[in-house]
Amino acid sequence: MGSRLLLQTRYADDQRSNMASTYIYDLLTGLGLGRSHALEMLPRVKVAGFDPREVIWSKGGEVAAWTYVISGLVSAGVPIKEGGRIQVNIYGQRTWFGEEALLNRYPSSLEYVCLTSVRAVTIPAADTLAAFRSEPEFARYIALLMAWRSRQNAEMIVLMKQGSPPLRVVMGLALFAEALQYNSSRPPTEGPEGTSVEIPVKQSVVASVCGVSRGVFSEIVQQLASAGWLRVDYATLELRSVRTWLRFSLKHRQTRMNVTKPSVEELLLLLKEASVL
């Protein structure tokens, strides 16, 4: 009986391993890697799990692997001396991160922290660099991603560092909309975004991401909810009319918000304008 159970357990483990290998192989070839290169790299590419609040890569530390989010949310930000951090991006499902520091081989300028439990695929830095040098399609993909991300991150740092508390809250919520609604490893495109999405973390965590106190956050959120842009639950939030949040984020990140100290009332008008585009 014991031997049979052991064999069944080994068979189940082998099945899971084969499924993971197939998933990773498809992921690698989808990036433009040749089949032989993907197969050669496969044993070194791992699936890893991280807990909420766990730091994946620290600011100033080495980025040892290019990382792909299978499930969960990862926050990227710049820690500041006064405590807290300037939020730069949120990476959701089907998103790669860490490429800039890895390819340029300098310490990470961002800190990557899990907002939820996260499952991820990690490609060692040496393999990522080797593929970048030898695989043209892969090199093109990662170079375009890095260029777009670099511009996007610079825009967000300006907004989240210089912006008023209402602007930081609205842009922080828009980051969640982007991460939850579509693959943020590419520039946003129009599509069937749906009407609402729930943020799967507590309001206290969202407030921290936005860089404001819980009291300030609650006050601004109540005004957004009264205007119909949010639904407030006891501990969580639901973003309503997600397409509006995405349009608002794209437009005002690109223009870098000519006014970095808008009031809640001014932001409500801007959201309304985004809803009718």
Cβ distance 156 to 148 under 8 Å?
no
- Least confident stretch, 17-21, 137-141, 201-205: 17-21
pLDDT > 70 fraction of the chain, expressed in percent and rounded:
84
Range 130-159 average pLDDT: 89
Q: CATH second-level architecture of 43-153?
A: Sandwich (2.60)
Query: Confidence band (pLDDT; 50, 70, 90) for 227?
Result: very high
Fold (CATH) for 163-275: Arc Repressor Mutant, subunit A (1.10.10)
Q: How far apart are CA 100 and CA 52, in angstroms?
A: 24
**Cα separations (Å) of 130 from 143, 185, 213?**
14, 21, 45
More confident residue, 158 or 227: 227
Q: Mean pLDDT of all residues in the chain?
A: 84
Query: Confidence band (pLDDT; 50, 70, 90) for 7?
Result: very low
Cβ distance 81 to 153 under 8 Å?
no
pLDDT tens for 69-102 read: 999 999 999 988 777 788 899 999 999 999 999 8
Which residue in 46, 49, 208 sits closest to 117, CA to CA? 49
Please check the confidence at residue 6 and state whether its pLDDT lies above 60: no
User: Domain extents for the chain?
Assistant: 43-153, 163-275
Which residue in 97, 98, 95 sits closest to 108, CA to CA? 98
CA count, 13 A, side-chain hemisphere, 175 = 29
Cβ distance 147 to 186 under 8 Å?
no
Q: Residue 236: which region, alpha, beta or left (left: phi > 0; alpha: psi -120 to 50)?
A: beta
pLDDT tens for 158-209 read: 888 888 899 999 999 999 998 887 555 544 444 444 578 889 999 999 999 9
